[in-house]
């Protein structure tokens, strides 16, 4: 965030306006120039497999020491896209299977049909 004003007019606060239960902004204020970081505030609310896969954050910088009525603001929209991690193991649709085969079965005879394994991770 950059404010080209000088003195008290260059002082501003930085406010995250959306998803404040999940993310936070640092620093919360600046003078003329601030390098802003968006940080995860509550990791337990982020889950690619069972939750929201993307967030749109609204960030606002507000002059806080200019005279009332003359305080200007700047805003930015930030897109946050979650990346799935490999946190699930593949699972078969049953833990055991039983099939019969004739002792006269030809070489290459298929014994199984319907055995499936799934993995809820993406990719």
Residue 2, token pair as written in the block? 């950059």
Cα dist from 64 to 16, 42, 57, 73, 77, whole Å: 15, 28, 21, 9, 21
Cα dist from 63 to 37, 59, 77, whole Å: 19, 14, 18
Residue 71, token pair as written in the block? 């305080």
> Of 46, 64, 67, whose CA–CA distance to 55 is shortest?
46
Note down pLDDT in tens along the chain; length 123 residues.
766 667 777 788 999 999 999 999 999 988 878 889 999 999 888 988 888 999 999 999 998 887 788 888 899 999 999 998 888 889 998 888 888 888 899 998 888 777 888 888 776
Q: Where do the domains of the chain lie?
A: 8-81
Task: Determine whether 78 is exposed, middle or buried from the number of CB atoms within 10 Å of its CB (0-12, 13-18, 19+).
Answer: middle
Question: Global pTM?
Answer: 0.70
Residue 40, token pair as written in the block? 């995860």
Cα dist from 36 to 26, 59, 66, 67, whole Å: 6, 10, 21, 25
């Amino acid at each position: 965030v950059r404010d080209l004003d000088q003195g008290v007019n260059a002082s501003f606060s930085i406010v995250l306006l959306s998803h404040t239960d999940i993310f936070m902004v640092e620093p919360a204020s600046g003078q003329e120039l601030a390098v802003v970081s968006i940080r995860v505030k509550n990791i337990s609310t982020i889950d690619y497999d069972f939750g929201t896969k993307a967030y749109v954050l609204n960030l606002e910088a507000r002059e806080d020491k200019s005279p009332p009525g003359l305080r200007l603001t700047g805003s930015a929209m930030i897109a946050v896209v979650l990346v799935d991690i490999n946190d699930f193991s593949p699972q078969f649709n049953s833990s055991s299977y039983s099939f019969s085969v004739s002792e006269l079965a030809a070489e290459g005879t298929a014994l199984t049909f319907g055995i499936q394994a799934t993995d809820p991770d993406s990719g």
